[in-house]
Amino acid sequence: MSSNIIVSAIQQPCNADKAGNLNLSIDLIKEAKQSGANLAVLPELHLGPYFCQNEDFNCFATAEPIPGPSTEILSQAAKDQEIVIVSTIFEKRAPGLYHNTAVVFDTDGSIAGKYRKMHIPDDPGYYEKYYFTPGDIGFKPIETSIGKLGVMVCWDQWYPEGARLMALAGADILIYPTAIGWDPADTNDEKQRQLDAWITIQRAHAIANGLPVVSCNRIGFEASPDDASTGIEFWGNSFITGPQGEFLAQAGTSEQIILTKELDRARSERVRQIWPYLRDRRIDEYGNLIKRFID
């Protein structure tokens, strides 16, 4: 296994045309491969609009089993391009049981593994608890031909515990497909604070764990199904960092783009030797972390 791998974060819009979204994703995966990529990461729920802006039982009809029609197409794309793909799908596990699930396809087209989103938000415009059951697989890296991928999804990116558990389980890279944006009614200052917080927390995961981070967001304004004058302006800004949180590549707010960067995994070990956070953890004093709150 090579120490160096080339990773791509694919920043794209996601509209109501499911087939069109999937075809665009595959076309961009092909471009990433032409640039030498070994890994392509797609935004959260890239097959369609972000449907969680309201609660509508009709949306359950868009969920798919895994394996299913979309995973079959993505499996073939991974095999044809000999590239590892990270996709996120609205999974129908059983009648009345649905997940927001990241699926990892290996270079031979097989499903290397999946990760079910663990932290499920329930906020204005992000009514995910209505649709998604919290994941039950845990924070387990997915073994692929290019290494162990610590894949999490969107709201998971705010929690240092998930990143740490992935690192402790041997992840080589932390990967966050996401769908996050601004309320257009917010002030410019508030929008900047939100974006800065989103970037900072993920860079902190890289630093605290000595691992590269790939964060991949969608772009474009998606109107609320309840009121077309409101909605979410997805802020893009996908990025790739090294194990000290340093930016290696970063996208803008609205451009369709493939961010591609070569990562040296041996550097993660060197960084951990300089900043040995894992050595100095006081695991004998962390028992209260499993409590909801310390009264």
Annotated active-site positions, please?
Answer: 44, 117, 154
DSSP state of 13: B
Cα dihedral 62/63/66/70 (nearest 10): 20
Q: Where are the alpha helices (DSSP H) in the chain?
A: 18-34, 69-81, 160-168, 188-209, 265-274, 277-280
Under 8 Å between Cβ of 210 and 216: no
Q: What does the angle CA 88 – CA 92 – CA 94 come to, to the nearest 5 degrees?
A: 150
Per-residue tokens: 168: 């402790």
Angle between helices 69-81 and 18-34 (to 10 degrees): 20
Query: If you search the block for the tokens 């890289």, which residue do you land on?
Result: 206
CA pair distance 12, 74, nearest whole angstrom: 16
Residue 196 CA to its chain's centroid (Å) = 18
Query: If you search the block for the tokens 């129908």, which residue do you land on?
Result: 92
